[in-house]
Structure 1
Amino acid sequence: MSDRNQTQESPEKKAAGIYAASLVKSGDKVGLGTGSTVAYTIKELGRRIREEKLNVVGVVTSYQSEAIAIEAGVPLTTLAQMPELTIAIDGADQFDKNLMAIKGGGAAHTREKIVSMSAKRFVVVSDPKKKADVLSVPVPVEVMPFGKELAVRQLKELGGKLVLRAAAKKDGPVITDNGNFVIDCDFGEIQNPKELAARISQIPGVVEHGLFMNVDEVVIGKSDGSIEILKK
């Protein structure tokens, strides 16, 4: 069994993902994020649609989530058709005590941010290991290929140690669903996420960064199947 499959079968992620699906009500328009924890949410929504006649429609943030939703039987729409969503559910790479989060491990953070900002309520699903007193994991930054060199120079000026994310099974960099590169920027402990987010956003060629300031609540799954909920 691969490490990836072990992660997908995590009881913590399963507990958080399934609980998040219980927050969805009939008539809701649901933003569906990307990653192994949200996969449990999407599959549980599919079960509720089949068994409970739940009436919902989803907007996905990646081709990966689209495939899972189609297989699960979750009806899909687009932001063009449904620009205002009831709730968005997504994972995170890390979150702090103020519910500020870093996302983008799946290179879908631009679409994830658009979807989460389109929702009245943004719920992050996670396992306990993602909680931190201070954000410290690398911040993914999606950049246009044309602006990569300028972005690299200015991100370094902000104190980042940069790695252009490489594709896993082919030569060359990861290409996002939007046709751009992802630069993972290690800033160490981020004492002021809001200030850093604002400064990264000012760099020409940066499409979006993985610092999320709009999380309303976090659902943390435990190994015994219980959950903990953190709210602002």
Structure 2
Amino acid sequence: MKTEGGSTDAKRDAGERAAEEAEDGFVVGLGTGSTTAHAIRALGRAVDDGLEIRGIPTSFQSRELALEVGVPLTELDAVDGVDLAIDGADQVVDDPDVTAHGALIKGGGGAHAREKLVDAAADRFIVVADPSKLSDRLERPVPLEVRPDAHTVVAERIRELDGEPTLRDAERKDGPVVTDNGNLILDCAFGPIDDPDALATRLSGIPGVVEHGLFVGLADATYVGTEGSVEVRRY
């Protein structure tokens, strides 16, 4: 069975393998997306079998799934720390010979602001992916969560950086996508990104940008589901 962007079996294998890293007493960041959903379901089964954890959801979607499968929930400001975060990615640099090895683009689900908060707070951040997400460099559009009253100003700044911003439209209603935080999403195409760290710094400095989808230096490992196995890239 195939889904857009990769094999369902590969996604499930990666998610379930990452879920095995959770231990009794852990606070676990619950990412957003189809691959991470497999991890959340696996954590729910482990809770049924007696594992004691608390999850921090990064979106309404991950919260609803965690409640459905019985993962107890908490909030980032209610814990002393996050032991493990499990999250997906839209693209991962998979080239140990470059400094950007392990850099990510996230935000296809529009939850990257909350995801970055939780992932950065975690002692270990594991990315779950299938091979279709791996690349020798980042080249997908970078999602920016922006304040609604600033999106035109931010778009102009992106053009000054030789990017092409596109306001993300909702699929089942008229108008733009609105995030869980009440903001808008600009998908910004820069072509191949040779220095994601430098671009991340520039994007963070634009007034009106709440958060961008470049995750540089945050991931500790990527678990890649393949045909019947899971390959681990450590950074």
CA contact (8 A) 1:8 1:37 kept: no
Deviation, structure 1 residue 80? 1.5
Q: Deviations over 1:24-56 (max 9, x none)?
A: 1111100000000010000000101112x0010
Aligned to 2:98: none
| TM-score after normalising by structure 2 | 0.94
Output the amino acid matched with 1:119.
A
How far, CA to CA, are the matches of 2:120 and 2:145 in structure 1? 17
Structure with more of its chain in strand, by fraction:
2
Deviation at 1:8, TM superposition (A): 9.0
CA contact (8 A) 1:8 1:36 kept: no
Q: Distance in 2 between matches of 1:146 and 1:47?
A: 43
User: RMSD of aligned C-alpha atoms?
Assistant: 1.5
* Structure 1: runs of 5 or more not aligned: none
Structure 2 residue aligned with 1:87: 84
Deviating 4+ runs (over 6 angstroms) = 6-9
Aligned length: 228
**Residue of structure 1 in register with 2:141 after alignment:** 138
CA contact (8 A) 2:7 2:130 kept: no
Q: Deviations over 1:106-145 (max 9, x none)?
A: 0000000000011111100000011110100110000001
* Residue matched to 1:103: 106
Please say if residues 7 and 36 of structure 1, whose CA atoms lie closer than 8 Å, have aligned partners that are also in contact: no
Deviation at 1:225, TM superposition (A): 2.4
- SS across alignment from 1:191: coil
Given the alignment, which residue of 219, 224, 231 partners 1:220? 224
Query: How far apart are the structure 2 equivalents of 1:78 and 1:225?
Result: 35
Aligned twin of 1:28? 26
Which of 192, 196, 207 is residue 195 of structure 2 equivalent to?
192
Distance 1:7 1:187, change over 3 A: closer
Q: Which SS does the other structure have where 2:76 is aligned?
A: coil
Matched, 1:207 2:207: no
Unaligned runs of 5+ in 2: 96-100
Q: Secondary structure at the match of 1:120?
A: strand
Over the matched positions of the two proteins, sequence identity in percent amounts to 48
- CA–CA distance in structure 2, aligned partners of residues 31 and 181 of structure 1: 24
For 1:141, the aligned partner's letter is L
